[in-house]
Amino acid sequence: MHADIAVEEAMTFEVLTTKVGDSGSFMIPISVGGSKLLRGVLELGASINMMPLALYEKLGLVGLKPTVMKILLADQTSRTPYGEIKDIPNFVGGIVIHTDFVVLNIEEKSNDEGSCQVLLGRSFMATAQMRIDMCKKKIVMQSQVEVLKAERDALKEQVDAYVKKNDKLKKINMALSTENESTVQELEDLSKLAEEFEEEAFRKLKKASTSVDTKNKELEAIKEGMSNKEMSLKMTNAKECE
């Protein structure tokens, strides 16, 4: 197969990018279950979130349940987790992210940055609405509350737009009805158009308003759940990682 490519077009293929080396692991400061800040390692290759058994015991967490899952480690060996804990509130940069952790009986590695460490997989990053810029080494997160607020605000804008369009159409109809040169047929057609638009706008307005109410209820439920979790943590007197 043969294809002719113009010189100008061929030159576009000559644009070179700067080669970048390994940026290393992405780590974030995270408070697990009310603890002081730990190191959270982000791992796109992991489908689970994991913490060492020693850390689980230090934090004084409760609710560990047995599990039958097998975990394949980086050295291709499989391990059976000690158990699993669900819906643990984690605090990252002022955002609360409820997460399930698999507890594995492994040795914690120590270094200059601290010995406590948790592995955060794809489920955590998806829940946190996380965006990672590998080149700039930048992480942006958006909480579920912020997402719901954005969706609610967008729906409110749609409601306002329908109301404004409907009002504008009514004004046009009123103005044309006062013109002496307007025919009866033109007025009837315009009136029919206005009625159809008003019916459609009312349906969409009602649907959008219902969605706004739903988002508000979801926001209130999340806030209440967060409050209950924080109260539960205080009552269990969770220990901090030393």
Q: pLDDT tens-digit profile of 13-35?
A: 555 567 777 777 788 888 888 78
Query: Does 90 lie in the same domain as 32?
Result: yes
Measured in residues, the chain has a length of: 242
Span 68-88, average pLDDT: 86
Distance (Å, whole) CA 117 – CA 51: 7
Domain co-membership, 231 together with 195: yes
Number of structural domains the chain divides into: 2
DSSP percent split of the chain into helix, strand, coil, nearest 5: 45, 20, 35
Q: Are residues 131 and 163 in the same domain?
A: no
Question: Where a domain ends, among 111, 142, 173?
Answer: 142
Q: In the numeric block, which tokens belong to residue 109?
A: 């590695």
Cα separation of 39 and 27, whole Å? 6
- Shared domain for 151 and 225, answered yes or no, is yes
The pLDDT of residue 73: 77
For residues 179 and 77, membership in a common domain is answered with: no
| pLDDT for 22 | 77
Q: State which residues form the domain around 89.
A: 21-142
Same domain, 131 and 207: no
Of 60, 55, 47, which Cα lies nearest the Cα of 30?
55
pTM, 2 dp: 0.52
Separation in Å, CA 131 to CA 6, 26, 44, 128: 38, 12, 12, 9
Same domain for 106 and 130, yes or no, is yes
